[in-house]
């Protein structure tokens, strides 16, 4: 499969994982969902190791662990931002920053997409801002939540960059390192704050499903990043909120705003432009 196809599939699965994660957090404690879902993801990546073998070098594990710390901090800061401010403010800033950081890194590293592909990148940035925004998003815009959202987005963007920097022959070992680090980080946070890591009854299946889908998306991202430019792969992957919105619309019956519908349209346009480049 091409990098574009892998990244697009990754976005769809990431969005589905977020949908299941959202259902899980409605039924159980957030930190319990994060820890247990990531354990489920670890089981999947270990099961896939024989089919996607690689060299277990120190570089593979260290880059992976660094990405896991960045992603884990991104998650913690994201939830902290949600506690401080409105979702309609925090989510679009986080999502846009998570896309912009790898794009800037790719440009500085010498990646030069075509004009058509760059048009898709710009449209993708617009799409992420639109699909992540809820009505009334400009209200309650204060410095604290904004800075927290920027830091959270930088953490997520760092996750993508650090995985890209892992050795090309590492196979799935960077994801093993990433998961070890992120599980340890979130578990330590749960212990420090005396939060239970046991999901509520009835939430196990959806929690594990979220973790397995999240890891499947991580695998697809790693494969895509090994085959294509970080700029284009990250932009396509960052369109995942569109699939989350569509699942919420057709499974839960939630209504989408005109802004979010426009964002979904921009996302489809961004995919088409990057694929055609």
Buried b (16+ CB within 10 A) or exposed e, 244-258: bbbbbeeeeeeebbe
Residue 12 has pLDDT above 60, yes or no: yes
Residue 209: helix, strand or coil by DSSP? Answer: helix
**pLDDT at position 83, please?**
62
Position 159 confidence tier, pLDDT thresholds 50, 70, 90: very high
Domain ranges of the chain: 3-276
Position 140 confidence tier, pLDDT thresholds 50, 70, 90: low
**pLDDT at position 256, please?**
79
Position 220 confidence tier, pLDDT thresholds 50, 70, 90: very high
**pLDDT at position 1, please?**
56
Buried b (16+ CB within 10 A) or exposed e, 18-31: bbbbbbbbeebbbb
Q: What is the pLDDT of residues 43-95, one digit of tens each?
A: 999 999 999 888 989 999 999 999 999 988 887 787 777 666 666 667 778 88
Q: What is the pLDDT of residues 184-215, one digit of tens each?
A: 888 888 888 887 777 777 778 888 888 899 89
Cβ contact 275:119 at 8 Å: no
Position 249 confidence tier, pLDDT thresholds 50, 70, 90: confident
**pLDDT at position 87, please?**
61
Task: Give percent of the chain with pLDDT exceeding 70.
Answer: 93
**pLDDT at position 242, please?**
83
| CA-closest candidate to residue 97, choices 30, 146, 166 | 146
273 half-sphere exposure, CB direction, 13 A CA radius: 21
pTM of the complete model: 0.86
Residue 26 has pLDDT above 90, yes or no: no
Residue 125 has pLDDT above 80, yes or no: yes
* Mean of all residue pLDDT scores within the chain: 85
| CA-closest candidate to residue 8, choices 264, 247, 213, 235 | 235
> How far lies 18's CA from each of 105, 111, 141, 191, 210, in Å?
26, 30, 25, 24, 7
Cβ contact 72:187 at 8 Å: no
């Amino acid at each position: 499969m091409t990098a574009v196809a892998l990244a697009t599939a990754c976005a769809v699965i990431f969005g589905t994982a977020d949908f299941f994660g959202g259902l899980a957090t409605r039924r159980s404690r957030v930190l319990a969902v994060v820890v247990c879902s990531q354990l489920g993801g670890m089981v999947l990546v270990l099961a896939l190791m024989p089919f996607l073998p690689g060299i277990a070098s120190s570089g593979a594990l260290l880059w992976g662990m660094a990405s896991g710390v960045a992603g884990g901090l991104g998650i913690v800061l994201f939830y902290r931002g949600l506690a401080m401010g409105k979702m309609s403010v925090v989510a679009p800033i986080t999502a846009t920053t998570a896309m912009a950081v790898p794009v800037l890194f790719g440009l500085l590293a010498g990646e030069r997409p075509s004009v058509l592909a760059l048009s898709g990148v710009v449209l993708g940035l617009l799409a992420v801002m639109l699909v992540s925004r809820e009505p009334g998003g400009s209200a309650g815009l204060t410095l604290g939540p904004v800075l927290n959202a920027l830091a959270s987005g930088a953490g997520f963007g760092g996750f993508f960059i650090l995985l890209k920097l892992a050795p090309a022959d590492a196979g799935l070992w960077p994801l093993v390192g990433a998961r070890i680090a992120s599980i340890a980080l979130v578990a330590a946070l749960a212990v420090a704050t005396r939060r239970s890591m046991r999901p509520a009854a009835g939430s196990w299946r959806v929690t594990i499903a979220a973790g397995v889908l999240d890891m499947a998306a991580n695998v697809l991202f790693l494969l895509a990043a090994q085959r294509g430019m970080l700029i284009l792969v990250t932009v396509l992957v960052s369109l995942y909120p569109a699939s989350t919105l569509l699942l919420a619309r057709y499974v839960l019956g939630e209504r989408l705003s005109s802004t979010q519908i426009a964002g979904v349209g921009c996302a489809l346009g961004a995919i088409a432009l990057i694929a055609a480049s």
